[in-house]
Amino acid sequence: MNKRKLGAEMEDRAVLYLESKRYRILARNFRCRSGEIDLVARDGLTLVFIEVKFRASHRAGDPEDSVTPAKIHRILQVAQYYRMVKGVPEDTPMRFDVLAIDEKGIRHITDAFWA
């Protein structure tokens, strides 16, 4: 299976997980010049930007370990752009989560990093 197809399958799995937790998915693979955010959702009144990471094995570490400072910087830039183009009010609470998927299942890391 190619990486793109596998990535789409893992994002589908992440969406099902989040929807089971009553998140409302607003966007998938939101892109701009600065980069991409895998999922944008609402958790109650909170706007949540979610990075989905999958690892088939732990040879390279846990999936969440691949969210590097450079990746965080890009996610923050894309989140600001999303807020601007969607007209999200400045006082809207927001957070950044990571969904780590591996052979053990899904780990949802809320507030994985801050703006």
- The CATH number of residue 24's host domain is 3.40.1350.10
Given a cut of 90, whether residue 97 has pLDDT beyond it is yes
Q: How many domains does the chain have?
A: 1
Is-contact 47 78, C-beta < 8 A?
A: no
Pairwise pLDDT comparison (7 vs 16), residue with the higher score? 16
Q: pLDDT class for 56, splitting at 50, 70, 90? A: low
Longest dimension (CA), the chain: 43
Range of the domain at 56: 3-113
Q: pLDDT class for 1, splitting at 50, 70, 90? A: low
What's the mean pLDDT in 89-93?
95
Picking from 90, 96, 99, the residue whose alpha carbon sits closest to that of residue 63 is 99
Mean of the per-residue pLDDT values of the chain: 90
Name which of 22-31, 64-73, 105-114 the model is least confident about. Answer: 64-73
